[in-house]
Copies of this chain bind each other. A is one copy, B any other.
């Protein structure tokens, strides 16, 4: 949907999204841990988006795009390129509406991710692991199918959908002072900005980013989008750069961007598994990692953390040897 690319979604779009997607998503629970509170000195509230049926918050934006299509477009389905949670969440949403979903994925993507997309009825077209191959392949697939392009984050429908998470979070908790979410392309952070800037403008929004993929941090401080070529971090959901639409929200509403190293991210992930007893992926541990290394900033505060996703290869956990 090229024509919507720089339409800035509004608070009303987010409200409409919530009404539209409610039958298709979970209102995920908020969990707490006395022990993590003691460790950090803050009062932490974890919004468990890893408990969405397909395992990530991205089902919100995907469902908003899929269920917002008119019948004519819906018959042609949707299409995207992604090797991560967006692909499986879009397939899941399309399956619920009973429409086609075409996904272009690098042939090198993990088998488990391909299996999940197929389990939800997504049709995968493989490309080489390069930007040019991906773009060529995607153009061909889209031309052949007529599927509506749903970008993983640079799409107003997607951002309005992701914003529904912050709405629930505010409704489920009292007096949050800060909300943290990981930042990759910026879809969840943008949705959070969209919602909180109207619903709870007193709440600070802090984005958390891996040191080894800190393009949003550098963009934030440079005042313009900086994109890295091929960042490498254990937080593999956060490799992609900001785009115009997410930059709009980040540059206007985010209070700060904090970073953490890969070892700090893995340590935080293990703490969450051990004390919150939820299965989440490395990307979702970045906020706690940044809280632990900036304790004075969060001490005594009521802090919301969005656990963005829970799709992780149980046979290759980051603390497993080789």
Q: Which residues of A contact B (CB under 8 A)?
A: 29, 31, 33-35, 50-51, 53, 55, 119, 270, 273-274, 277-280, 310, 314-315, 317, 319-320
Contact = CB atoms under 8 A, between A and B. Distances in A.
A274 B314 contact: yes
A315 B280 CA distance: 16
Contacts of A319: 314-315
B310 A277 contact: yes
11 contacts: A31-B51, A34-B53, A50-B277, A55-B277, A270-B314, A277-B278, A277-B310, A279-B279, A314-B317, A317-B317, A320-B320
A16 B108 CA distance: 59
Contact of A279 (B51, B273, B315): B273
A44 B236 CA distance: 32
Tell me how many chains of this kind the complex includes: 2
Contacts of A51: 31, 277
A319 B313 CA distance: 12
A27 to B, nearest CB: 11
A169 B195 CA distance: 34
Contacts of A119: 35
Given A29-B29, A277-B280, A278-B278, 9 more contacts: A31-B51, A50-B277, A55-B277, A270-B314, A274-B314, A277-B278, A277-B310, A314-B319, A317-B317
Contacts of A317: 314, 317
Contacts of A273: 279, 314
A119 B50 CA distance: 29
A54 to B, nearest CB: 9
Contact of A35 (B34, B53, B315): B53
Contacts of A320: 320
A142 to B, nearest CB: 29
A45 to B, nearest CB: 14
Contacts of A34: 53
A75 to B, nearest CB: 25
Contacts of A315: 319
Nearest to A35: B53
Nearest to A269: B314
Nearest to A38: B119
* Closest 7 A/B residue pairs (Cβ): A277-B310, A277-B279, A50-B277, A29-B29, A273-B279, A34-B53, A273-B314
